[in-house]
Amino acid sequence: MPKKALYNAARYRRAIVRAEQFGLEPCDAGFDWPAVLAWKWHAQETYAGDQEAILAGHGATLVRGTARFISPDIVEVDGTRFEPDHIVLATGSEPFAPPIPGIGLADTSNDALGYPVLPDSLLIIGGGFIALEFAAVFATFGVRLTIVSSGPRPLEMLDPDIAAVAVSRLQALGVEFWSDCRMTGISGDPGSLKVAFTDADGATHESIHERVLAAIGRRPAIADLDLEAAGVEVDGRGHIVVDRFLRTTNPRVWVAGDAAGGMMQTPVAAYEGRTVAESIDTGQPVEPDCRAVPTTVFTTPQLAQVGMSEQSAAEAGLKVRIARTDFSYLAAAVVEDERDGLIKLLFSEEDNHLVGAHIAGPTASDLIYALALGIELGATDVDLKRTLGVHPSYNEIINHAAW
């Protein structure tokens, strides 16, 4: 929610900057950063308030405080003890701090969501979705950005062709990318931080940045819970040991959401919460099925995917046919001059079922839902050819790609 509020402000700014192209009077798209932050706070507090009201409407009692186990059956919150029949751990995740000298000088994603003043220059450590989402926001508001990652390319978890669309857009906004690098240290004083890293050829680089943001991943936030007292086992990676029904090694304790360490996405957290509730309610354990969960990187343009990638299909020994088309001749893209988008659909060679979809382009976060539904319902290429899109809209791209 907070990040989407910033993303929206950036999206509108980019649109205003381009308005002249569509025949509108040019304007300077000036901005008031504290007002942008105020809108972000308003949006996130409104949403949080709605959630609390929904909980209260269902008869739930909300107790504010930090919970920890006293024994396998008892949870204590600020001196008050509870001994419920079932306990669901839904404590979320926290940023992972990489073992880099001086990492304490770097910000976390929580800090970046509330920078009171925009930095002049920002170096982001990490090339994942959090890095590229913040890059799209801050670059749009004029921050000089450098992204340094250890992987061979940014957004390794996405199809390379899809990721490349956003990387070149961000480069056009002035973002500098360094891949295959190893951070060697951060030093200096707040406001003037010296960052040192070595590149793929072993050459050393040093540069000064107003802020450094560590965005290299998140891990379950379970340190406060005293899971040893609970008899809940944790593995060497710091993940709670769970079975396929999200039961821990304590039969009374379940886990859901980021704390479970699976796909760290809001809808997945809610879905896992519901399946755990259903398991508890019915006494019959239910297994969550996350094979067709759509995900989106809210960068520029949006990047979305669902189901298998070429790589995961190959690893599973599944032969796939790839249907791909770019947005060049799509009417909606021509009207908006957003013609650098791309869609790739993966069909099983054996039975022509849709098994994966990857999109870079405007509204990708909405388009991907139809394809998730397609995978869930066993759609084939013929189904997608027969299902026409609305003209002129971005959803026509699905039908175009299927042909």
Ligand X SMILES: Cc1cc2nc3c(=O)[nH]c(=O)nc-3n(C[C@H](O)[C@H](O)[C@H](O)COP(=O)(O)OP(=O)(O)OC[C@H]3O[C@@H](n4cnc5c(N)ncnc54)[C@H](O)[C@@H]3O)c2cc1C
Instruction: Quote the least distance from Cβ 185 to ligand X, whole Å.
Output: 25
Region near ligand X per CB under 6 A, out of 191-199, 251-259, 281-289, 394-402: 251-259
| Residue 122: strand pairing partners | 145, 211
CB-CB neighbours of 118 under 10 Å: 16
Helices (H), 105-205: 109-112, 129-140, 160-172
Pairing of strands 121-125, 211-214: parallel
Candidate residues 46, 187, 266, 328; the one interacting with ligand X per rule CB under 6 A: 266
Residue 155, interface with ligand X (CB under 6 A)?
Answer: no
> Which of 16, 29, 43, 67 contacts ligand X by CB under 6 A?
67
- Interface segment toward ligand X; rule CB under 6 A; list 162-170, 206-214, 253-261, 381-389: 253-261
Q: Which residues of 360-377 are buried (b: 16+ CB within 10 A; e: fewer)?
A: bbbbbbebbebbbebbee
Q: What is the DSSP letter of 158?
A: S
Contact 133, 3 (CB under 8 A): yes
Closest CB to ligand X among residues 132, 384: 132
Binding-site residue total for ligand X (CB under 6 A)? 20
Two tokens at 350? 């054996």
Least spacing, CB of residue 35 vs ligand X, in Å? 21
Cβ nearer to ligand X, comparing 245 with 400:
245
Site string for ligand X, 4-23 (x = CB under 6 A): --------------------
Among 10, 88, 232, 264, binds ligand X (CB under 6 A): 264
CA 282 to chain CA centroid, Å, is 32
Which residue of 224, 228, 278, 337 would you call a contact of ligand X, by CB under 6 A?
Answer: 224
45 binds ligand X (CB under 6 A): no
Gap between the Cα atoms of 253 and 73, Å rounded: 9
Residues 268 to 327 in contact with ligand X, rule: CB under 6 A: 269, 298
Q: Quick check: 141 and 232 in contact, CB under 8 A?
A: no
Binding mask 116-135 for ligand X (x = CB under 6 A): --------------x-----
Q: What share of the chain is helix, strand, coil (3-state, %, to 5)?
A: 35, 25, 40
Three-state DSSP class for 111? helix
Return the residues of window 178-217 that contact ligand X according to CB under 6 A: none
Taking the C-alpha atoms of residue 338 and residue 348, their distance in angstroms, rounded to an integer, is 30
| Prior bond of 220 cis (ω within 30°) | no
Under the binding rule (CB under 6 A), the answer on residue 80 touching ligand X is no
109 binds ligand X (CB under 6 A): yes
Q: Does 235 interact with ligand X (rule: CB under 6 A)?
A: no
Helix or strand (DSSP H, E) at 176: strand 176-178
Which residues, 88 to 107, sit near ligand X by CB under 6 A?
Answer: 90-92
Instruction: Tell me if 265 contacts ligand X by CB under 6 A.
Output: yes
Q: How far is the CB of 118 from ligand X (least distance, A)?
A: 17
Contact segment (CB under 6 A) with ligand X among 97-105, 166-174, 257-265, 330-338 equals 257-265
Q: Among residues 84 and 101, whose Cβ is nearest to ligand X? A: 84
What is the 8-class DSSP label of residue 25?
P
Distance CA 25, CA 144 (A): 28
For ligand X, the binding residues (CB under 6 A) are: 3, 66-67, 90-92, 109, 130, 221, 224-225, 257-259, 264-267, 269, 298
